[in-house]
Amino acid sequence: MEILLVHIILGVGLFFLINWIGKHSYSIGYMEISIFVKTEEAPALNFLIRVLTPIVYIIIVSTSLYYFGLDKFVWNIYLVNIYYILFRLIFNLATNRGLLLNWYRQFLYWTAIVVISYFTYEKLIKVKANILPDFTTVANELWIIILIFIFQVANNLRFSQEATQKRKDKYLKSCYHYFKRFYGQFIKDLTNNEILESIVYAIIIYEDFNRPKIARQIENLKFKLTKKPHTLGVMQVRSDKLISDLESVKIGTEKIVNAYKKYLENPTENSSDYFDWYAKNYIINDYNVGTSYNGEVNELADIIKNTFYKDTNDTLDPNKKNAL
């Protein structure tokens, strides 16, 4: 039981370690789960981070355990990577990321991790063998060069985004229809404008992706314990009292409508061609500051508008028909 507990803790620790490594590897092509379609710039790098990191992890952990005389915890340590896979699977399903995953690729990653982990344990770790490579022969050096060459070639491969696009579209439609079923009429009555509706849904979907229900439940618990103001609910509005998702939608939608009305009092752009663009940017910035936040919510609002409100005659320009 003691060994099982330690292995589970190590598996969860690996989950957070790989997320941390990925977070600091975006500049070199690491791909995170996203609601937007992005070109995979470094497929080989992504494969290595996701598959080889768990292998390196159990090798380093095993070496450390052996060093400190904790040999019993090395027994079947390849199971750590299986617990890591299970924890990642549960996390993705609990946070509604299932529709965004390429399941064929995930099974490839998981199969590779399990097979290589077991082989590494049986052939290297289990017998306390020297797990560092031997560079004393020319053959080993030649194979290192060959592997580096293969990596560079694989890393420059580019894949079609059609399947990715379909997953993103399916996820977006699922989220939109889900939130519309619960809050649709409410949002429609408050905004009375389909462009504003698209902004509201963009923020709800974006905030829900980054703060899924399980995370919001933890925030609610934290609020009950501290009694300090928190951002709460599906629209992540700041509140000094405990609120439901419905209440957060009400407060968040009213905030968006008020920001739009405030912008109309002193617009930064009077050109009818660009009025909607400037107004939308003002509304999103008023909701939450940050270049990344504005850019991604803006993009999401455009996708929602073009997908679900493509025939709308509404506009944010008060000089045109159907403005609020």
The DSSP result for 117-141, as a single string, is HHHHIIIIITTT---S---SSHHHH
Query: For residue 29, what pLDDT band results from cuts at 50, 70 and 90?
Result: very low
**pLDDT score for 318:** 82
User: What's the CA gap between 162 and 244, in Å, rounded?
Assistant: 38
For the whole model, what pTM was predicted? 0.64
**pLDDT score for 140:** 61
Query: 172 or 133: whose pLDDT is higher?
Result: 172
What pLDDT digit, counting tens, does each position of 253-288 carry?
999 999 999 998 888 766 666 888 899 999 999 999
Q: What is the DSSP letter of 38?
A: -
Instruction: Give the total residue count for the chain.
Output: 324
- Choose the weakest-confidence range: 48-62, 76-90, 179-193, 234-248: 48-62
**pLDDT score for 78:** 92
User: What's the CA gap between 117 and 111, in Å, rounded?
Assistant: 10
User: Do 191 and 220 form a contact (C-beta atoms < 8 A)?
Assistant: no
Neighbours of 296 (CB within 10 A): 19
Among 210, 245, 231, 247, which Cα is nearest to 287's?
231
**What is the token pair recorded at 271?**
């050109």
Distance spanning both ends of the chain, measured CA to CA: 63
User: What's the CA gap between 167 and 192, in Å, rounded?
Assistant: 31
Inter-CA distances, 83 with 10, 11, 62, Å: 9, 5, 16
User: What's the CA gap between 301 and 198, in Å, rounded?
Assistant: 5
What pLDDT digit, counting tens, does each position of 162-188 carry?
666 777 888 889 999 999 999 999 999
User: Do 98 and 175 form a contact (C-beta atoms < 8 A)?
Assistant: no
